[in-house]
């Protein structure tokens, strides 16, 4: 029985020896691979992060350098397209408008109306100043109602009377002319607008008359 056990142990050892060799080889390879990896890892330098770099001052940008940089930048030129010239439209021919002949003015069938003369620009008012036996002194008060200087003419009629003297107050002396019964006095200077003056005359051989039978200023009757 001892012989049998030996024979069995010998056969078992013969069977297990190849697997043992393979296992040992695999184990050795694993160990070698681990050693190789450790060597590679240990050979790499450690990448420990260093302190962050301090930020330096930013470069100052002046207005002149900014303007220079802008002027140095190339400006894109624009190509100006020629404008289209509008074609002239044909002008229209305007036909002449026939002129109308003026219609004949209808003649008035009634009688013509006489136009009234324009009122005198210089008016006069008569008043007696003094009376004597067969003589008197009269006055014509003259007033310029227009807006411009005016001359004046006074005409007085006293039948049979003679002129002794005449004078004006408030303006230049007037000129006088005439003989028995009819006398004319003309202004020596124009009467200013709105101004007044007095013409006085001394007549004799007037009989019982104390005022002229006719008195006019520029053809208009004297007032009273």
End-to-end CA distance of the chain: 201
Cα 14 to its chain centre, rounded Å, is 129
What percentage of residues in the chain have a pLDDT greater than 70?
Answer: 56
The dihedrals phi and psi of 108, each to the nearest 5 degrees, come to: -70, 130
163-196 residue pLDDT tens: 999 999 989 999 999 888 999 999 999 999 999 9
CATH number of 122-221: 2.60.40.290
Residue 105, C-beta contacts closer than 8 angstroms, at least 6 positions apart: none
Exposure on the CB side of residue 18, measured as CA atoms within 13 A: 3
Contact predicate 125/224, CB 8 Å? yes
CB environment 150-187: b (16+ within 10 A), e (fewer)? bebebbbebeebbbeebebeebeebebeeeebbbebeb
CA nearest 119: which of 195, 224, 219? 219
Q: 0.75 cut: is pTM over it?
A: no
Q: What is the pLDDT of residue 167?
A: 96
The residue-averaged pLDDT of 139-166 equals 96
Alpha helix stretches (DSSP H) within the chain: 2-43, 63-72
pLDDT at 51 > cutoff 60? no
Domain ranges of the chain: 122-221
d(CA 179, CA 187): 19
């Amino acid at each position: 029985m001892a012989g049998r056990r030996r024979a069995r142990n010998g056969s078992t050892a013969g069977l297990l020896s190849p697997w043992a060799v393979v296992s040992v080889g695999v184990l050795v390879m694993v160990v070698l691979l681990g050693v190789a990896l450790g060597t590679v890892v240990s050979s790499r330098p450690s990448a420990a992060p260093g302190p962050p770099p301090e930020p330096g001052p930013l470069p100052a940008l002046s207005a002149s350098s900014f303007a220079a940089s802008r002027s140095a930048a190339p400006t894109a030129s624009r190509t100006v397209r020629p404008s289209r010239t509008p074609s002239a439209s044909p002008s229209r021919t305007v036909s002449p408008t026939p002129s109308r002949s003026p219609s004949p003015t209808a003649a008035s069938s009634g009688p013509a109306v006489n136009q009234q003369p324009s009122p005198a620009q210089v008016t006069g008012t008569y008043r007696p100043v003094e009376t004597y036996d067969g003589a008197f002194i009269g006055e014509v008060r003259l007033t310029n109602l227009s807006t411009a200087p005016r001359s004046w003419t006074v005409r007085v009629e006293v039948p049979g009377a003679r002129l002794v003297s005449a004078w004006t107050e408030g303006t230049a002396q007037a000129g006088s002319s005439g003989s028995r019964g009819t006398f004319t006095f003309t202004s020596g200077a124009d009467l200013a607008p709105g101004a007044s003056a007095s013409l006085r005359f001394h007549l004799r051989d007037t009989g019982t008359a104390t005022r002229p039978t006719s008195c006019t200023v520029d053809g208009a009757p004297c007032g009273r």
